[in-house]
């Protein structure tokens, strides 16, 4: 027991561990896990106080040319009702979100060829012109260097691209052969070179994943030094090859959040919708484990159930105002507050 507590203390002091030490910490007992959590919460407060930043998520297309085995909007899911939001739909989401206090808009979608660089740039420029005090975050999958650069020059501030797993063999079990970990990592490096605030991330409990894979994730994240890390539990979708696999656990997901908070004290860490899906108080528990970002959905209610990356996703039927007010009360219940701010990362 003493050696495991010492391992947490070492992580706090040195901000990294060896791969074998990370594996030990990933597999730690409940007492060590609680100690880890308490230090992660303390570290979050030291760096960000009690402020929780909110991002307005706009899921503007569920068409996708990729075929990731875990994803509900993969191109092979022929039962998925597809949709695309129009330019005016997207701007209306931003208008509603701005009135509710959102100062970051996250444009998320599948890799949809319909949304050419010209169309994406038109949307970015319109949002930045209409709401100059807001940040624009993109989550559009893998693109070319030229595309990434155009978006940045048009005003995009941040880019989220979850690497999903940093273990090459594991990556190959989650994706078709044409999708490679090398390509994913290269995109993340390009985004950093261009000047984006960059977010990476991974699933906890995905098929074929072990503690060694999670340790590889931690070592990769430490090396990349991103501004945000998105960590959520794997949740199966009934129309994917992984439909019969069990979901990732709340406990291990929270532990990984806490480890990343201690490893990168100034990073932005979301308490994800997936956390809230596997536990009614998942978001609150995520915040207590070191998270400091929430991403309520600003998409029209009519399309929310169509953007199902996994089964039983929460908050698909609430209006934006309802969701925001509910979330505010939940966050206040753990002694924190939603703030009206861009909420830029301090991990620079």
Dihedral sign, CA of 269, 275, 280, 282?
A: negative
Q: What's residue 143's pLDDT?
A: 98
pLDDT tens-digit profile of 43-77? 999 999 999 999 999 999 999 999 999 999 999 99
Contacts of 61 (CB under 8 A, 6+ apart): 83, 84, 85, 109, 110, 112, 114, 115
Beta bridge mates, 137: 106, 158
Q: What's residue 2's pLDDT?
A: 56
| 224 pLDDT higher than 60 | yes
The CA distance from 212 to 29, in Å, is 17
Q: What's residue 310's pLDDT?
A: 83
Taken as a whole, the chain contains a residue count of 348
Structure confidence at residue 220 as a pLDDT band (50, 70, 90) = very high
| 316 pLDDT higher than 90 | no
- Cβ(42)–Cβ(321) below 8 Å: no
DSSP readout, 69-118?
Answer: TT-TT-TT-TTS---B--HHHHHHHHHHHHHTT--EEEEEE---TTS-HH
Q: What's residue 116's pLDDT?
A: 98
Tokens standing for 283?
């978001």
Q: What is the mean pLDDT of the chain?
A: 96
Q: Give how far Cα 287 sits from Cα of 267, 283, 295, Å.
A: 13, 6, 13
313 against 71, higher pLDDT = 71
pLDDT tens-digit profile of 226-265? 999 999 999 999 999 999 999 999 999 999 999 999 999 9
pLDDT tens-digit profile of 150-166? 999 999 999 999 999 99
247 against 309, higher pLDDT = 247
């Amino acid at each position: 027991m003493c050696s495991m507590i010492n391992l947490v203390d070492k992580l706090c002091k040195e901000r990294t561990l060896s791969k074998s030490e990370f594996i030990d910490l990933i597999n730690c007992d409940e007492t060590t896990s609680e100690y880890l959590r308490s230090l992660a919460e303390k570290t979050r407060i030291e760096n960000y106080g009690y402020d929780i930043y909110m991002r307005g998520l706009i899921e503007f297309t569920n068409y996708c040319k990729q075929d990731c085995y875990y994803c509900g909007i993969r191109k092979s899911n022929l039962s998925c009702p597809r949709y695309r939001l129009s330019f005016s739909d997207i701007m209306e989401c931003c208008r509603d979100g701005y009135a509710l206090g959102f100062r970051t808009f996250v444009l998320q979608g599948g890799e949809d060829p319909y949304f050419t660089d010209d169309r994406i740039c038109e949307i970015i420029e319109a949002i930045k012109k209409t709401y100059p005090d807001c940040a624009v975050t993109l989550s559009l999958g893998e693109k070319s260097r030229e595309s990434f650069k155009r978006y940045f020059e048009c005003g995009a501030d941040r880019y989220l691209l979850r690497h999903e797993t940093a273990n090459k063999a594991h990556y190959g079990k989650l994706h078709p052969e044409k999708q490679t970990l090398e390509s994913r990592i290269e995109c993340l490096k390009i985004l950093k070179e261009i000047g984006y605030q960059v977010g990476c991330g991974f699933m906890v409990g995905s098929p074929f994943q072990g503690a060694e894979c999670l340790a590889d994730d931690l070592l990769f994240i430490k090396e990349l030094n991103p501004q945000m890390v998105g960590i959520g539990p794997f949740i199966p979708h009934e129309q994917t090859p992984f439909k019969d696999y069990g979901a990732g656990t709340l406990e291990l997901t929270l532990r990984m959040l806490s480890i990343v908070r201690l490893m990168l004290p100034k990073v932005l860490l979301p308490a994800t919708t997936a956390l809230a899906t596997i536990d009614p108080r998942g978001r609150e528990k995520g915040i207590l484990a070191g998270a400091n970002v929430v991403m309520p959905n600003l998409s029209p209610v009519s399309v929310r159930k169509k953007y199902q990356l996994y089964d039983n996703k929460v908050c698909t039927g609430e209006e934006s105002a309802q969701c925001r007010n509910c979330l505010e009360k939940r966050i206040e219940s753990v002694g924190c507050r939603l703030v009206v701010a861009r909420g830029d990362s301090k991990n620079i």
